[in-house]
Amino acid sequence: MIRTLYTGSSTACFEIQNDSPYHTAEEYSVSLEGREVFRGQTNVFSLFDLTPATEYEARISFPDGDQTVKFETKSESCCVDVHAFGAAGDGVHDDTAAIQTAINLLPENGRLYFPKGTYLTLPLSLRSHMTLEFGKDAVLLGSTEREKYPILPGVVTDCYGKEIPVTGFEGIEQDTYQSLIHGSYVEDVRIVGQGRIDGNAMNGDWWKDFNNFPAKRPRAVFLNRCRNITLHGVTVANSASWHIHPYFSQNVSILDCFITAPKVSPNTDAIDPESCDYVDMIGCRFSVGDDCIAVKSGKFDMAMKYHVPADHYTVRNCLMEFGHGALTLGSELSAGIRNVTVTQCLFRETDRGLRIKSRRGRGKESIITNVIFDNIRMEKVRTPIVINMWYNCVDPDRFTEYVWSREHLPVDERTPHLGFFEFKNMVCTDAEVAACYIDGLPESPIDRVELENISVSFAEDAKPGVPAMQNFAEERCRLGLYLDNVREISVKNVQLSGVEGEHVIADHYETISTEESE
């Protein structure tokens, strides 16, 4: 069965429903009107260069037979080539004014089209009810002239004394350079196509000595308090920092995109949705220098100011490679994170699979619960599961006794809490450090962890490492299931191969069940 994920005026996205993470069992082809337009082996595929307001029937040909799917593209008011507004597209001339003028003057429900070419630009601002389409071999290339990027305040005050949120970074409202594509308070926007949004950070100084910049680095795409946003098909690459940062936004879909940066590039997370509601990340591929997906909800002050948790997140049929964490929650999670479902994904050579980063000081509203991992394949992931309530990075007080003390401290307004986590139907091969490392707070134990139908095998040449970023962390190698300060533990049909020492090490729990585990 074929599920339609998205139809726009000129592009569409589909998902083949099966039980295989990311890939189909065999190659298939897709034809429109008798002409083959796609061939591949991913569960999610896309069609481009479609005609608006047109009915189509796609034929998907598998080795064992064909399936068809009917769909109709959306209508639009117009499609305008960006060259009509004076863009050169030669990678030399500054196209900022031409592109921004085109965005500003585009009629509602219009499409601004970028044909093949390289469009050198400074930051651009989106408007509501529009589509940006980057055609095949079209590149939106960020300028390397940092001094020309506007610096935006975290908050401005209007003429009547009301605060207007503008931007933020790492859980704090603070000055940042304007992002390459910046959307603020816009809705009904689509960024689509087979082209590339390239921050070009490797050719400037964005990855060098950035802690001494007068403001925080920009993202490739930043969406502040936006609604009904779709990114489909595009490649987003080489951002100065995080690539795609939806911020206090609703109904964001990121479909069949490729987000990439060198492994050594600093803080180049792929997608970091922060305090958003209903975010779908489906069919995407990631290869970056930091976390592939990092779900956030702000640090303490911002969370107490707005009380907006991260809620209703779906990650499905994605390939995550080489990042620090495949799916990370935190560490800025003070307003809480709930209802996160990750299914049918393939994690390859990330440091960790699931990575939860919390710590004392995140606050009483930092309630993380109902996180479900189902049908996940991990290859050469050093530690498949990490839940760490002792995270010691980023914050100025990270090395203080308050953060690292193993004493039972008083529960107060700064104490976070972790609820229910379910991991099932997972196959993890060539792990190295630990199969599962879960470390709760003595004064705030994790409510419940369920591990079911999981297989973890360790690499023969496994190298030791630190499973979680903590003060005084010990290196481990081939550690089995380690759980400390978890109230309820359920381990059912978990198979471990190559473990050194006991398969299950649990301490400070109320109940534990280890049915059919070895």
> Which residues carry out catalysis?
290, 324
Q: Which residues contact 72 (CB under 8 A, 6 or more apart)?
A: 7, 53, 54, 55, 56
229/5 Cα distance (integer angstroms): 14
Looking at the chain, the number of H-run helices and the number of E-run strands are: 3, 45
CB 465 within 8 A of CB 477: yes
User: What's the chain's Rg over C-alpha atoms?
Assistant: 23
368/420 Cα distance (integer angstroms): 8
- C-alpha torsion sign, points 394, 399, 401, 403: positive
Sheet of strand 2-7, all strands in order from the earlier edge strand to the far edge:
2-7, 12-16, 44-47
Q: Is 103 helix (H, G, I), strand (E, B) or coil?
A: helix
271/69 Cα distance (integer angstroms): 30
446/459 Cα distance (integer angstroms): 30
Q: What is the DSSP letter of 330?
A: E
Q: By C-alpha distance, which of 233, 137, 250 is closest to 183? A: 250
Q: By C-alpha distance, which of 97, 125, 127 is closest to 111? A: 127
User: Within a 10 A sphere around the Cβ of 45, how many other Cβ atoms?
Assistant: 25
Q: In the numeric block, which tokens belong to residue 350?
A: 């990330």
User: Within a 10 A sphere around the Cβ of 107, how many other Cβ atoms?
Assistant: 12
* Sequential DSSP letters for 255-290: ES-EEE--TTSTT--SB--BS-EEEEEES-EEE-SS
Q: How far is CA 41 from CA 25, 172, 195, 219, 327, in A?
A: 7, 41, 21, 31, 23
Q: Is 235 helix (H, G, I), strand (E, B) or coil?
A: strand
CA angle 212, 213, 217 (to 5 degrees): 125
Q: What is the DSSP letter of 239?
A: -
284/180 Cα distance (integer angstroms): 21
Q: What is the DSSP letter of 203?
A: G
